[in-house]
C-alpha cells in the first residue's frame, strides 16, 4: 500500500469535529480531513492503488479503513462528507468510476452511517476558481495555492482539499457561498 500524506496541522490538534473531502480515483485516491471550526487545519492522504479489478477496489477499501482508524482515534465527530460526483460527459472509465464510487458510498454508510454529498466537478471548479468550465487541473492547483496558501503536487489531493473546504461551510466570496448554498439544499 503506497500512501502519501500532507499535514496542514490537523494531526497536532485533537478533539475537533471534522469534515471529509474525497476525490475517488483508481490512480490516486485523495482524502482530506479538515477541522470545522477556527483555522482550516487539514490532513490529506493520497493512495496509489496497486492491483487490478476487484483486488484494486479491495485495496482502496482497506485504505479507507486505515484512514478511518486514524481519524476515530483523534477526533470528536465527523460532521459531513463530500465526494466528487461523476463526470456525465466522460467517454472512458465510466463503469470503473461507478464501481469505485458505489463502493465508497456503501463503505461510508456501513462504517460511518453517512451518505456523502456529491459535488459535480463543475461545482468544485467554480468554488475554487470562480468558474465551473474550462478549468484545467494545473489551474486548480494554482488557485488553491493563491487563495488559501496550500500547495499540492497532486490534483487528487487538491480536489479533496477543495471538497473538504466546501463542506466545512467556509466561504468568503460570493461564488463560494453560491456553490455551498446549492450543495446544502
Q: What is the pLDDT of residues 69-118, one digit of tens each?
A: 888 877 767 779 999 987 766 666 677 778 889 999 999 999 989 999 99
**Cell 466537478, residue located:** 121
Q: What is the reported pLDDT for 5?
A: 85
Task: Parse the chain into domains and list their residue ranges.
Answer: 2-183
Enumerate the β-bridge partners of residue 34.
Answer: 19, 42
Contact (Cβ atoms closer than 8 angstroms) between residue 173 and residue 40: no
47 in Cβ contact with 28 (< 8 Å) = yes
Model pTM? 0.92
pLDDT digits (tens, 9 = 90+) for 124-162: 999 999 998 889 999 999 999 999 999 999 999 999 999
Contact predicate 26/49, CB 8 Å: yes
Answer whether residue 3 shows pLDDT above 90.
no
d(CA 152, CA 166): 17
- The share of the chain scoring above pLDDT 70, in percent, equals 93
Backbone angles phi, psi at 58, to 5 degrees: -65, -40
d(CA 78, CA 112): 9
> Among 25-29, 43-47, 57-61, 115-119, which stretch is predicted with the lowest mean pLDDT?
25-29
What CATH superfamily is the domain 2-183? Ribonuclease H-like superfamily/Ribonuclease H (3.30.420.10)
Amino acid at each position: 500500500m503506497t500512501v502519501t500524506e500532507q499535514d496542514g496541522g490537523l494531526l497536532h490538534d485533537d478533539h475537533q469535529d471534522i469534515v471529509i473531502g474525497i476525490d475517488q480515483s483508481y490512480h490516486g485516491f485523495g482524502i482530506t480531513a479538515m477541522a470545522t471550526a477556527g483555522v482550516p487545519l487539514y490532513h490529506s492522504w493520497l493512495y496509489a492503488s496497486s492491483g487490478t479489478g476487484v483486488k484494486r477496489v479491495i485495496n482502496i477499501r482497506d485504505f479507507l479503513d486505515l484512514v478511518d482508524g486514524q481519524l476515530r482515534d483523534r477526533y470528536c465527530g465527523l460532521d459531513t462528507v463530500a465526494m466528487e460526483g461523476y463526470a456525465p460527459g466522460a467517454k472512458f472509465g465510466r463503469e470503473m468510476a461507478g464501481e469505485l464510487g458505489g463502493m465508497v458510498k456503501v463503505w461510508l454508510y456501513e462504517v460511518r452511517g453517512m451518505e456523502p454529498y456529491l459535488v459535480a466537478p463543475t461545482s468544485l471548479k467554480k468554488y475554487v476558481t470562480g468558474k465551473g468550465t474550462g478549468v484545467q487541473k494545473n489551474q486548480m492547483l494554482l488557485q488553491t495555492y493563491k487563495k488559501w496558501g496550500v500547495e499540492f503536487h497532486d490534483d487528487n489531493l487538491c480536489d479533496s482539499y477543495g471538497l473538504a473546504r466546501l463542506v466545512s461551510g467556509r466561504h468568503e466570496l460570493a461564488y463560494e457561498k453560491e456553490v455551498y448554498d446549492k450543495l446544502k439544499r
